[in-house]
Amino acid sequence: MNRNEQILMTEEFVRQNLKGYDSGHDWWHIVRVRKLAMFINDMELLADSFTVDITALLHDTADSKFAGGDNEQNYLRIRDFLDSKGMSDIRDQVIHVIKNVSFSSKHKKDNPDDPLLWVVQDADRLDAIGAIGVARAFNYGGFRNNKIYDPEIVSQKETSKGTINVGSSSTISHFYEKLLLLKYRMNTLTAKKMAAERHEFLELFLKQFYGEWYFGS
């Protein structure tokens, strides 16, 4: 099986796997992350581009929030897939990234020493900020039936502790828990530059949001 056929088979495997995910984690998220990862890697020359492509394609397939079952079982399924399509050579590298890419991954280390992970993680994180990030956050919040915003919870935590720590009670709170932190967590210079612009948009969005919410007060 040549590299092109392996990419086609992986695309098909990923499409089958993503059924049941929310639309912020759909095939188009994969397409965007793939493009971003390729761009970052072309600029930074950190990893082999075929491996970047396969890893970007597979990066969300074991997410236990959606894939269900046990994570270890999901990793085994991906391992079997890669072996069966003649990609045993990159198998361990790819699985290492899948295990570590998530913001909340329990496997994560603060300074991962893996260039392939830097690239794919940056791409995934860029897709969580900017206009697309806002759209995905509210989409995910809706999927979970979370509130858009709860002013009582946010202000209560602000006065008592001086920091905002509001669980996942609203999608606006998710901005403070995660989205506004992502620009500080980029691994590569290319992604840092892109994140700065997308971060500014998050701030602009919040400013407009609060302006409308607190209109007249």
Binding site for ligand ADP (CB under 6 A): 24, 63, 102-104, 128, 133, 136-137, 140-141, 146, 168, 171, 174, 178-179
140 makes contact, choosing from Ni ion, ligand ADP, none, with CB < 5 to 8 Å by partner type, with: ligand ADP
112 makes contact, choosing from Ni ion, ligand ADP, none, with CB < 5 to 8 Å by partner type, with: none
The least distance separating ligand ADP from the CB of residue 140, rounded to whole angstroms, comes to 4
A 10 A CB-CB count for 65 gives: 13
Q: Which amino acid is at 80?
A: D
Q: Contact letters (x/-) for Ni ion, 50-89, by CB under 5 A?
A: ----------x-----------------------------
CA gap 26, 20 in Å, rounded = 9
Half-sphere exposure of 105 (CA within 13 A, CB side): 20
The least distance separating ligand ADP from the CB of residue 24, rounded to whole angstroms, comes to 5
137 makes contact, choosing from ligand ADP, Ni ion, none, with CB < 5 to 8 Å by partner type, with: ligand ADP
141 makes contact, choosing from Ni ion, ligand ADP, none, with CB < 5 to 8 Å by partner type, with: ligand ADP
Answer yes or no whether residue 124 interacts with Ni ion by CB under 5 A. Answer: yes
Instruction: Look up residue 170 and give its DSSP letter.
Output: B
CA gap 8, 13 in Å, rounded = 9
Q: With respect to Ni ion, which residue has the nearer C-beta, 138 or 209?
A: 138
C-beta separation of 70 from 20 below 8 A: no
Phi-psi sector, 152: left (phi>0), alpha (psi -120 to 50), beta: alpha
The least distance separating ligand ADP from the CB of residue 29, rounded to whole angstroms, comes to 8
Structure tokens at 114: 């893996």
Q: Does an H or E element contain 88, and which?
A: helix 88-100
Give the residue nearest to ligand ADP (CB). 103
Q: With respect to ligand ADP, which residue has the nearer C-beta, 34 or 136?
A: 136
CA gap 71, 92 in Å, rounded = 16
List of residues contacting Ni ion (CB under 5 A): 60, 124
